[in-house]
Structure 1
Amino acid sequence: MSNWKLTIGIQKGEHFVNLYYEKRRIRFWNGKAIGLKLSSKDNPELLKAAIELKLLDGWRPKTKSIEQEVLNPTVIEVLIKGIAFKKSQGCSDRYIKDINRVLILWKRFEKENSITNLKIDSLTSKHLSKFLIRPNWSPKTQRTVKSTLSPLLSMPQLTNAVKLHKPVSVMHKPIDNIAEVLKEVSMFNDNLHLCCLMTYGCLLRPHKELRELTWGDFTADLSYIKLSGSRNKSGRNRIVPVPSYVRELLNKEDNNLNIFTGTTNAPNPDYFKTIWGRFKKVSKLLEQDQTLYSFRHSGAIEIYKRTGSLSKLQKALGHSSLAVSLTYLRGLEVSELEEKDMPMV
């Protein structure tokens, strides 16, 4: 009987292969670890089959040697080895960036608290609490850093002992004066204006679905956008109409080119977040709690006002659950409604 198990998982619409081996779960997003150019994004079943063949042939993922386990490394050494292991798994560039950032933060933490070269067996939950719970970090940031740090340390009992406050969900406040705000954005930056306009008019999510959009995602007449399940959060294929006020700003180019950069490369993951942050500082119209996602919420409310159809709203937003779509209607002051209260469609 084999001492391993393979499954296929999904996270934020992207598939990966799980390997359960020696009481550990190892994720594979591609075939780099087994020397093959395969991607779980393109064909997770093929990647799973390839890993299974390697396992049956005697291959096993790298594990800590006995010598390494006997030694008492520093926390920084453990983090560095954890990062190297994650890189060998073929994790995304964004994730690698996040774990490297945690390493930098931990080095700074040790220096500021005069605990340089802290040994891993001397690490306590008090150290972790002091590292994570900071007045200038929101509860959401604290949880994000903790979830990034935990798999690098591989000490779940210690990290789980650190209790953090639950983040307070902040509503993306809808924008009532949408035309005025869009005009102000257009005078600030053309790409940000197109992003905001399409977030509102096409209800696409700005930081992934829109940022990675190519001309090949449009129909020939630019009247629809077609996205596969791997390209959006719900994991479902989406076909989105493109309003005329968006089409008049579009000039179709080669199918493989990104609509914002004009090259085969999409803008960096923080591109719109950075530009939006700069715009907020100079805007005379934005109100508190209005974000880039406020355009999507405003568009959702407008669709519901026009159609009165929850099913159309759900389809336009690309949600797998109607309950999620209902949260977008808080701007209509119907927050007391629940899915069970709504009429069937």
Structure 2
Amino acid sequence: MQITPKIFFSEDLSKRSYVYFFINQKRVRIYQGAQFGKSCSPNLKKTAKSRLRELILLEDIVIAELKKGWLLGQKRWLIGEVLKSMLAELNSSSYSKKYIRDTTIVSQEFMEYARVLDILNMEVDVITTSTVESFLSRFDSSSAYYAIKRRTLSAVFNKIVQRGIMKTNPVKGTSSRRVEAVHNQSFSEKQLDGCLEAVREASDNLYLCVLFVYCMLLRPHKEVRLLTRGNFNDDLTILTLSGDQNKSKRIRSIPVPDNIRKILLSIGVQVLSDQVNIFTSDFKPLNEFYFSTCWARVKTKLVRKGIITPNHTLYSFRHSAICSVFKRDKDLHLVQRLCSHQSMMTSLKYLRSLGMEQVGTLDELPQLKR
């Protein structure tokens, strides 16, 4: 439908001037640019000449807005405003610091890209799959880097879709990258022995952390680092994590192995107050990068000696333990329960990412009768 805005102007300054057009045989009058976020008010001008000049500017604004798809009374969802609103909501949420950080970065990068394309102040509907594909091509230096950016950006647009601002997620149609599972590699038995010995010599706190990670399948940076005396029962034989202390958001109770219990007794954890951190013996825990820094120092030496690879991380201890359990019992339900995964599919994906899809024995293969 062709809409042609026109100007109504009178040199009699007592009469209001405006830009108008007809839609569905109804006349629509636009008196100022405020509704488009523009500073343009012809009727405030004191001379006929300046009023006409301002009216011409208002006409140009209306024409531009109509080309963008604006109609009277329609809510306008501009790309910049929507993404900024999403970030404000995200920063006041209970999501992890890492998730908020990654989402903030990719949203800001996309806004900058939209600014370069001159679409930042346009409706979100102008974002197409090809727009997103072009944006993601900037992160094509590795499959893993591309996949992370794509997954994070998709989460942002999913939230926009959930709020009814967009009908479909434009990231869904973009090409994916097959990522080879190399990060957080599990250790071989020989590597594990070498790592444990090196960690024991380097740091008592790191060694205790690694034991929690391997023997009890806890995550190091939040679940282990923030442990207090109150997480244990009186005789230090049971560890309990509340819903807000672990990733699954469910209460977990785990028996404490004897090797860990002996260390806890030796450092006097049993006499601490419930709110005191077991690593610092203080109400304040270790900083969030403490274990990462300690491990980085040990890892550098081990990589240099050829004992492990750069793809081994602190989480490799947890992954190695899960591999060990699965190889021993071939029980996916057990892996799900020990890891406190929400579903068995999560456990299956986890094992696949660790290269655990292979058939275990010859008996599991089909046999010919002859």
Fold match by TM threshold 0.5: yes
SS in 1 for 2:254: strand
Q: Structure 1 CA distance, aligned partners of 2:352 and 2:131?
A: 43
* Contact kept? 1:214, 1:255, Cα under 8 Å: yes
Q: Distance in 2 between matches of 1:283 and 1:237?
A: 36
Structure 1 residue runs of 5 or longer lacking an equivalent are 1-65
Deviation at 1:199, TM superposition (A): 0.8
**AA paired with 2:359?**
E
CA deviations over 1:183-224 (Å, ceiling 9, x no partner): 223444444332222111222232443233222111222222
Aligned position for 2:107? 103
Between the two proteins, the alignment pairs up a number of residues equal to 269
Question: Residues 292 and 107 (structure 1 numbering): CA distance in 2 closer, same or farther, change over 3 Å?
Answer: same
CA contact (8 A) 1:132 1:145 kept: no
2:317 is the alignment partner of 1:295 = yes
Show the counterpart of 1:238.
Answer: 252
Aligned: 1:143 with 2:157 = no
Q: Is contact 2:129–2:170 with CA below 8 Å preserved after alignment? A: yes
Q: Which among 158, 165, 174 is matched to residue 187 of structure 2?
A: 174
Structure-2 residue corresponding to 1:259: 278
1:309/1:144 Cα in 2 relative to 1: closer, same or farther (>3 Å)? closer
From 200, 215, 230, the counterpart of 1:216: 230
Counterpart amino acid of 1:92? Y
CA contact (8 A) 1:211 1:267 kept: yes
The letter of the residue matching 2:214 is Y
Give the AA of the match of 2:319.
H
- After TM superposition, the structure 1 stretch with the greater mean CA deviation from structure 2, 122-131 or 215-224, is 122-131
Within 5 A, what are the aligned runs for 1:113-132?
Answer: 114-115=116-117, 118-121=120-123, 122-132=126-136
Q: Distance in 2 between matches of 1:329 and 1:98?
A: 25
1:102-130 CA distance string (max 9 Å, x none): 3332355457xx43663333544333222
The structure with more radius of gyration: 2
User: Which whole-Å CA distance do the structure 2 matches of 1:146 and 1:230 have between them?
Assistant: 26
Q: Which amino acid aligns with 1:101?
A: I
Going from structure 1 to structure 2, the CA distance change for 1:165 and 1:179 (only over 3 Å counts) comes to: same
**1:336 alignment counterpart:** 359
Which AA in structure 2 matches 1:164?
S
Indicate yes or no: 2:231 matched with 1:227.
Answer: no
The alpha carbon displacement at 1:83 in A equals: 2.0
Quick one: which of 184, 201, 205 aligns to 2:198?
184
Q: Is the 8 A contact 1:102 1:148 kept in 2?
A: no
Distance 1:266 1:144 in 2: 32
Q: Please list, as runs of the form range in 1=range in 2, the aligned pairs for 1:269-280 lying within 5 A after superposition.
A: 272-273=291-292, 276=295, 279-280=298-299
Deviates further, 318-327 or 75-84: 318-327
Normalised TM-score (structure 2): 0.56
For residues 277-288 of structure 1, the aligned pairs below 5 Å read 279-284=298-303, 285-287=307-309
Q: 1:99 to 1:164 in 2, by over 3 A?
A: same
Equivalent-residue separation in structure 2 for 1:155 and 1:131 (angstroms): 19
Shift in Å, 1:277: 5.0
Higher relative contact order (CA 8 A, sep 6+): 1
Name the CA distance, whole Å, in 2 between partners of 1:274 and 1:109: 34
Are residue 79 (structure 1) and residue 83 (structure 2) matched? yes
Instruction: Determine the structure 1 residue equivalent to 2:62.
Output: none
TM-score by length of 1: 0.60
In structure 2, C-alpha distance between the alignment counterparts of 1:167 and 1:326, rounded to whole Å:
14
- What is the CA distance between 1:336 and its match in structure 2? 1.9
Distance in 2 (CA, whole Å) between partners of 1:309 and 1:170 is 21
CA displacement at 1:265 relative to structure 2: 5.2
Return the match for 2:168 from 153, 157, 162: 157
Report the Cα offset of residue 256 of structure 1. Answer: 1.4
CA distance in 2, matches of 1:314, 1:188: 33
Distance 1:334-1:211 versus aligned 2 partners, 3 A rule: same
Q: Give 1:202's aligned residue.
A: 216
* SS of residue matched to 2:186: coil
Cα distance in 1 for residues equivalent to 2:96 and 2:324: 37
Q: Distance in 1 between matches of 2:282 and 2:72?
A: 49
The 2-side partners of 1:220 and 1:276 are apart by: 31
